Amino acid sequence: MRTFSVPTRDQVAPVAQGIFDNLKSQLGMVPNLFATIGYSANALSSYLAFQSAQAKGSFNAKEREAVFLAVSQVNGCAYCQAAHTTLGKMNGFTEEETIELRKGKSANARLQSIVVLAKEITANHGRPSSEALESFFAQGFDNAALIDLIALVADKTLANYVHNVTQITIDFPVAKPIEEAVEA
């Protein structure tokens, strides 16, 4: 199988170089996943614009991290599990909560409805159960929130697939594996 490397600033187009510079000034680094997306300046600028727009949607930062943890687990993306475990903790989740969210579980009914629906949308290719959908709406969410949730699933699926294809180095602390034990 082909081996992919993370491109340096000098290996990407000038538009991507500018984005790398902005990321470095904002985050102190260019995460390897963003750098890899930067092989296509168009894809990187489009992806970051999409992420920025979704931050203004129906879900707060903590809820978005919950979605990203659940989706990344379903898609088997070790990079995004690591990144969003770190970001989830920065947004107030404990390590144990990030693991539970990856399993599609939360003690908070609102978060529970979000992560269950996000996992089902991901696992079932956009065909969640009526129970998951109705549980989501029972929490007071509306059609706009449903579309925003689908957009978040799409956002994270793109990132998951980039890493799953390229297997570039994870530059965040690796997320603890979860046991996929059968629930009693």
Give pLDDT, residue 118.
98
Q: What is the DSSP letter of 107?
A: S
Q: Stretch 22-31: mean pLDDT, rounded?
A: 96
- Retrieve residue 165's tokens: 């294809």
pLDDT band per the 50, 70, 90 thresholds, residue 184: very low
**Residues 124-136: pLDDT tens digits?**
999 999 999 999 9
Give CA torsion, residues 159, 162, 97, 138, to 10 deg. Answer: 50
Give pLDDT, residue 156.
98
Give pLDDT, residue 76.
97
- Concatenating the DSSP letter of every residue in the chain gives -----PPPGGGS-HHHHHHHHHHHHHHSS--HHHHHHTTSHHHHHHHHHHHHHHTTSSS-HHHHHHHHHHHHHHTT-HHHHHHHHHHHHHTT--HHHHHHHHTT--SSHHHHHHHHHHHHHHHTTS---HHHHHHHHHTT--HHHHHHHHHHHHHHHHHHHHHHHH-PPP-SPPPPP---PPP-
Give pLDDT, residue 1.
80
- Retrieve residue 98's tokens: 């990030």
Could you tell me if 33 and 168 are in contact, meaning their C-beta atoms sit under 8 angstroms apart?
Answer: yes
Domain segments of the chain as ranges: 12-54, 61-166
Give pLDDT, residue 181.
37
Phi, psi of 181 (to 5 degrees): -70, 150
| CATH number at 61-166 | 1.20.1290.10
